[in-house]
Structure 1
């Protein structure tokens, strides 16, 4: 989930349920894994206003962390039942609380402070890295499905830390 959260610039509400709220959660039927890429068809998202968005993520053979490979591995374990993309071991939609618990565990394992990392950090990290690589602001806005220029607040300068 962490890898896809970063590479697909996902909002926490697009991956997890909160109080049984499935409004914007990506379903299994919205995801297609092809040989060399992953396709996510966003049918409904925070600022969609009825518009859909089609995101393609290429397989990355040069990186140890590839969203396509990670999701392919996950899908071999997941049942083919319809519903949210991410399910816990009991077959229920992953909750926001479970995601936060797993993130805290990963941070503890790595010796990183939980004060600086939140579920939204994956979007912040993508926006920051994309900007550093020279992607245009329009491209970053589009990939993250931002309606406004609010994403510019997510772009961190070298050494800048925030607990957004």
Structure 2
């Protein structure tokens, strides 16, 4: 969360590229997405069969409770392959992915339909795709002056899941959001279990770790998963 707050403060809300960067960061984090599902590997590598495009546009809705949501489909996922996946985002008071996505689309509204979803306008009336390296490079510019640790692309996927779990979201819901298979998600928890006491945010009560352990025990039983794994799997 510290990295995301620093990034939001550093980026300009009126700059097309910065709005795209913040949208990618918050969508990846709260949507538990892999960066490769939102960005493209290089400027000339865009393929609509594998990369999410501007059209069809994400669908924004206001729920009866006043919360906003956004929904879009990626054509290719690490787990789902060509079946693709639906990415559902829920509005938040702080670091809102729905607001960031909406602002990006408004500021970059003249993008052609066949451009990547997170492409952004340039000063010469053209546009640029958001590559993974360009995204991480801009993040680095925000974090290095503050001496924040570097985050890999995988950190957004894992970090969002961890934050949701600590906030009390059930493992089944987080696994569905991050599109983990049940065994893979339990293995992720086993790796995380030893690190949480050292890295847990001060904003959470330490008792939440004990509650998480209980939640994951129930998750394991519900999915008929073993209590113990070979060291080669957990390592």
| 1:1-164 superposed matches below 5 A | 1-19=24-42, 20=45, 22=47, 24-30=50-56, 31-35=58-62, 36-60=68-92, 63-78=93-108, 79-82=110-113, 83-90=115-122, 91-114=127-150, 117-151=151-185, 152-153=187-188, 155=192, 156-160=195-199
Gaps of 5+ in 1: none
TM-score of the pair, normalised by structure 1 = 0.80
The Cα of 1:2 is off from its aligned counterpart by 1.1
Deviations 1:6-36 (A, max 9, x none): 1111111112111415453222225223342
TM-score of the pair, normalised by structure 2 = 0.58
More RCO (CA 8 Å, sep 6+): 1
Q: How many residues align?
A: 157
Q: Which moved more, 1:9-18 or 1:81-90?
A: 81-90
The two structures, once aligned, show a CA RMSD in angstroms of 2.4
Gaps of 5+ in 2: 1-23, 63-67, 201-235
Distance, in Å, in 1 between the alignment partners of 2:148 and 2:72 is 31
Name the larger-Rg structure: 2
